Structure 1
Amino acid sequence: MNIAIIFAGGIGKRMNTKALPKQFLKLHGKEIIIHTLEVFENHPDINGIVISCVEEWIPYLKKLIKKFDINKVDAIVSGGTTGQESIYKGLIATKKQYSEETIVLIHDGVRPLIDEGTITDNIQIVKAKGNAVTVAPAIETIIRVNNNSEIKDVIERSECLMARAPQSFYLKEILKAHESAREENKNDFIDSASLMRHYGHSLYTVSGPVENIKITTPMDYYTFRALYEARESSQLFGI
């Protein structure tokens, strides 16, 4: 079984959207979270979807799922105070319905430009190597600084990749890492890859599309709109 865990617990403070969480912003009459869910809904190898969502927005999300005919959603749970906690809640909900040998693809609700090929590659690499972390090449120079903002090192760009999503694991392994972190009161891991690395797992990469951005700022939203419309045009004209 291959289950997508979509976490959408953020409230969009950097978007300046006031009460509207960023995952519910619309593009062409469809919310960002729906754009994301549709990619997993339409993938033939995804058996189910679990969503961790801002609690007060769950009723609205359920209406959207019905409106846009998203049929693979098995559970919607309230999100946590951090992304790490939101993912954990999604993992617990998954465990209630699926075996520990299930492959889980952990993905941001606000990364709608994920594509079918990257999902397929994640599943295949987990089966071959035990896990998969989607990455994209670093396109800017990376520097290391000290506490005084003095540049200490300029890192070779060819040695750097940007970690993105999905980040995919066997359910039993990622859940065990989360439970270890909770026992040790470690709740500040930036993503699942950092968590798994901390607990001794070797991690393996999957190359994903450069446009698979996370929408957290107004500029990200406008970039998403431009990329989405470019995709639509290329399909329309057969480019």
Structure 2
Amino acid sequence: MNIAIIFAGGTGQRMNTKTLPKQFLELHGKPVLIYTLEQFENHPQIDSIILVCLESWIDYAKKLISKFQINKVSQIVPGGASGQESIFHGIQAAYQKFPQQKTIVLIHDGVRPLINQETITRCLKCVHQNGNAITTTPAIETVFVNGEHDQVGKILNRTQCSLARAPQCFYLDEIYKEHIKAKSENQKEFIDSATLMQYYGHKLYMVDGPVENIKITTPMDFYLFRALLDAKENMQIVGF
């Protein structure tokens, strides 16, 4: 059983939108969230989708899911006070609904619509082989640690650095157990699932993902998404 947990709990403060959270912004008549959901809906190895959504927008999300015929969404759960808590709500819902051993969960941002089928397939294969899969892309610019007093700290060798993206994929029983442990220890500061799992001693394995698998957080990200999508559609029109 392979379950996609799609996190769409952001309020879009950095997007500066006054009406819609960023996951509901539309491009060519389709919300960003739907572009994302379609990638998992159309993947033959994904059995179900659990959507984690802002509670006040759940009814709106249900209407979109019905309109665009996203049939694999089996449950919509409200987000929490933080990203970590919201992801836990999705994991907990999956654990209650799909208690089978060796269920795989693919945790993905609702505002990463440019994930592709090939990466999802490679992630699932990596979990079967190694127990987890973290989607990454190579660092292509200089990376350094922030120093004190606005100084540049240690400069890292970028050939040894990658950027963590999504999906981040695990066996459901393992990540559920570690989330419960984090709650019992009042550990609330994990920025993502990979950080939490590594903190609790798990070796993590990388899967190369597409460079265009960006997270739409700012207006510039949205314009880049539009440009990439238009370029992809134009290439299809001319036969590439």
TM-score (norm 1): 0.98
**Cα distance in structure 2, aligned partners of 1:213 and 1:100:** 32
| Matched residue, 1:96 | 96
The offset of 1:234, in angstroms, is: 1.4
**Cα distance in structure 2, aligned partners of 1:181 and 1:149:** 33
| Matched residue, 1:158 | 159
RMSD: 0.8
Identity rate, percent = 59
**Cα distance in structure 1, aligned partners of 2:148 and 2:53:** 36
| Matched residue, 1:7 | 7
**Cα distance in structure 1, aligned partners of 2:151 and 2:27:** 41
| Matched residue, 1:195 | 196
| Matched residue, 2:208 | 207
**Cα distance in structure 1, aligned partners of 2:197 and 2:11:** 26
Counterpart check, 1:146 vs 2:165: no
Q: Report matched runs for 1:176-187 at 5 Å.
A: 176-187=177-188
**Cα distance in structure 1, aligned partners of 2:183 and 2:237:** 49
| Matched residue, 1:57 | 57
Name structure 1 gaps, 5 residues minimum. Answer: none
The offset of 1:73, in angstroms, is: 0.5
**Cα distance in structure 2, aligned partners of 1:152 and 1:211:** 29
Runs of 4+ off more than 3 Å = none
Single out whichever of 115-124 and 91-100 deviates more from structure 2: 91-100
**Cα distance in structure 1, aligned partners of 2:31 and 2:134:** 26
Amino acid at match of 2:138: P
Amino acid at match of 1:130: G
Amino acid at match of 2:228: L
Name structure 2 gaps, 5 residues minimum. Answer: none
The offset of 1:237, in angstroms, is: 1.5
The offset of 1:12, in angstroms, is: 0.3
The offset of 1:66, in angstroms, is: 0.4
TM-score (norm 2): 0.98
SS at match of 2:148: coil
| Matched residue, 1:42 | 42
Deviations 1:60-116 (A, max 9, x none): 000000000110001000011111111100011111221242000000000000000
- What is the total number of aligned residue pairs between the two structures? 239
**Cα distance in structure 2, aligned partners of 1:236 and 1:107:** 29
